[in-house]
Structures are given as structure tokens and as C-alpha cells.
Amino acid sequence: MYENVAVVGATGAVGTIILDLLEKRKFPFETIKFLASKHSTGRIIRFKGQSHTIEELTPDAFNGVHLAIASTPDDTARDFIPEATKRGTLVIDESGYWRMDPDVPLVIPEVNAAEAKKAKKGIISSPNCSTTQLVVAVKPLHDYGKVKRIIVSTYQAVSGAGLAGTRDLENGSRAALDAKEYHCEIFPYPIAFNCLPQIGSLKEKGYTSEELKLLYETRKILGDDAIQVCPTAVRVPVANCHSESVLVETEKKISVEKARELFAAMEGVTVMDDTENKIYPMPHICTGKDEVFVGRIREDLSYDNGLAFWVVSDNLRKGAATNAVQIAEWLQRNGK
């Protein structure tokens, strides 16, 4: 057992959910500490009915810590996680900084849990939120019919841009309804009553950093560099939960009935697929839940071995906090 545990970024949007999950899921430990930036140092939080003081994130804060779950910006992960591993701490990292390092496993427990034991650098990465829900849904199809190509368009909630993104939606919506001017904190254009077809910085061939995560992380997690991915990432005026329209092309044809069966048997997936009765996943009903929800399953009209479906998942939970806690639970059950 990892007796001494730390939560890094404990006061952030994902960090607070991690604390809630550790408490509700009765994660085992002997001691626990909560670390955050100097700005949050000294704050008091409640955990398991007790008051805890937030400690400043410093290299020495990891002394004696066996396992840390970290939710920080990339530059913080770059600077502090090596300091943690030097002190013998195994780190589950939510940032994007270490994901594509060949010596850092990129883990979704339902998909490739055993990779967590290959943490040569003492770091295990949790994937990008949009990648996680995509791969959980695609995994059973790939195992059965070998996925050759994925076309995915994401409809990403403002919570994925942090608290400032949420404020931009809420305050911008009020301003728009009152016909008042509003200057966004984080988005380049108003997100209220709008869609922004760029998330992340511009990278190769006109794709953005967020879109390329869907390509490279999917390949790494599934262990198949032959999978082709064409991604488009869009920010939408939704408070929480990312949605995805997915089209997969497979070597072996997968019928709608078989796909529904494969999805239903996949750990962590809930099927909501009854379009006739208007039953399908929506952010409104999926927020606050830990599963990946799949619906609108249908055959591709343009390609014999194509299958289309709709995926929704809470980006702060399964897309971030829940996945990290599940990795920690797997490690506790299966040894170091």
C-alpha cells in the first residue's frame, strides 16, 4: 500500500473533485497532505470530516510521500514532478507535459491498466479529457473489428478551460441577454450563443494542439500507430461535459446490434441508444457522473465498414479526476 499520499493542485476545479472521490471511494492511506501554489497556501479545507491546511508546493513537500496525484498546469508539472520522483514519489499526472514521453505510460484503467507498472521515470500520465472518452468508447470496437480510421468532432464544454471559461459563459450570457458589452477573460471571442472552432494553439497542417492530442494519445493508449485520426475540436456554450461525434472505419464490419453489445460489455461505458424515444447522452444528464455514455449508434451510409456514434462524458470527472483516482486504486490493488 502507498501509505503516504499527496494531492497536488488540491484547490483547483479538478483537485476538489479528486478529494471528493478519494473520500467517497474510501481510498486507503495512512497520511495525506494537500499541496497547491503559494496563492492557496494556508487555506483550510475539509476532508473526511477533518480540517487540513493547504501546504505550499515545493520540492521538499514530497519528502516521505509515496504516491501523489497531481493536477497542475504543464509548466508546474515540468518543474515539480521530477523533484517528486527524485524523492521516491510515484506521480499520477493530469497535465499534458509528460503524456508523449516514451518512458511515461499513458493510462486509462479500463483500457490499458497494466501499463501503469511501466513507469520508468516514476510518472504515470492521465490522458487529455477528450481523448479519454473517445478511447474508452473505441476500445471494444478495436478489439473486435480493428479500427483503421477515426473521424471525430468534439463539442467541448467551457469547464475544460477552467474557472475563467465558466465565468466567460455565465457572465457573457447575462451580458448578451441584457444587450450589454462583455470582455472575455480567456476566450478570443464570446462563447455565449456561439461556437469557437479552435481549441489550443495552431500546430502542423492547420490542426490545433487539442486536436493532435486526439491523434497521438489515441495511438499511444491503444498501442497502434497505424490508426488514422481526423480530429476537429470545437468549444461550445455548454457548462460541463464534452460531447463527441465519432465515425470509425474498421477492418471487420460491426453491425449496430453488435456495436451496442460491445459497448454494453465495456467497463465504464453506459449505452443510451433509443433515438425513437429520444434517449441519448446529453451533457445535461451526464454531468457529475463517472461513466462514458454512448448513443446514436448507426451504420455509416457512405462506407460499408463504418460505424457512427455519439459520446458524452464529464470532462472534469472521467476526463480528469476520476481517471486519475482509478489509476491510484489500481496501483493500490496490484502493487507497485
Q: Which of 129, 142, 241, 286 is catalytic?
A: 129
Last residue of one domain, picked from the residues 173, 194, 215: 194
Is the domain of 137 the same as that of 250?
Answer: yes
Domain extent for 177: 163-194
Is the domain of 67 the same as that of 17?
Answer: yes
Distance CA 228, CA 225 (A): 8
Is the domain of 14 the same as that of 45?
Answer: yes
Is the domain of 199 the same as that of 182?
Answer: no
Is the domain of 140 the same as that of 173?
Answer: no
CATH number of the domain residue 63 falls in? 3.40.50.720
Is the domain of 140 the same as that of 271?
Answer: yes
Each residue's pLDDT tens digit, 274-315 = 999 999 999 999 999 999 999 999 999 999 999 999 999 999
Band of pLDDT at residue 335, cut at 50, 70 and 90: confident
Each residue's pLDDT tens digit, 51-75 = 999 999 999 999 999 999 999 999 9
Is the domain of 153 the same as that of 286?
Answer: yes
Band of pLDDT at residue 2, cut at 50, 70 and 90: confident
Name the one residue in this structure whose C-alpha cell is 492511506. 29
Is the domain of 284 the same as that of 143?
Answer: yes
The predicted pLDDT at position 53 comes to 96
- Give the chain's domain count: 3
For residues 255-269, give the mean pLDDT. 98
* 124 has pLDDT over 80: yes
**Residue 284 annotated in active site:** no
Give the whole-number percent of the chain exceeding pLDDT 90. Answer: 97
Q: What is the mean pLDDT of the chain?
A: 97
The predicted pLDDT at position 117 comes to 94
For residues 18-36, give the mean pLDDT. 96
Each residue's pLDDT tens digit, 75-115 = 999 999 999 999 999 999 999 999 999 999 999 999 999 99
Is the domain of 249 the same as that of 183?
Answer: no
* 192 has pLDDT over 80: yes
Q: Which of 66, 142, 242, 286 is catalytic?
A: 242
- Grid coordinates standing for 166? 465558466
**Residue 242 annotated in active site:** yes
For residues 145-165, give the mean pLDDT. 97
What is the sign, positive or negative, of the torsion defined by CA atoms of 243, 249, 250, 253?
Answer: positive
Is the domain of 15 the same as that of 95?
Answer: yes
For residues 16-30, give the mean pLDDT. 95
Is the domain of 87 the same as that of 229?
Answer: no
Band of pLDDT at residue 336, cut at 50, 70 and 90: low
Is the domain of 23 the same as that of 95?
Answer: yes
The predicted pLDDT at position 1 comes to 73
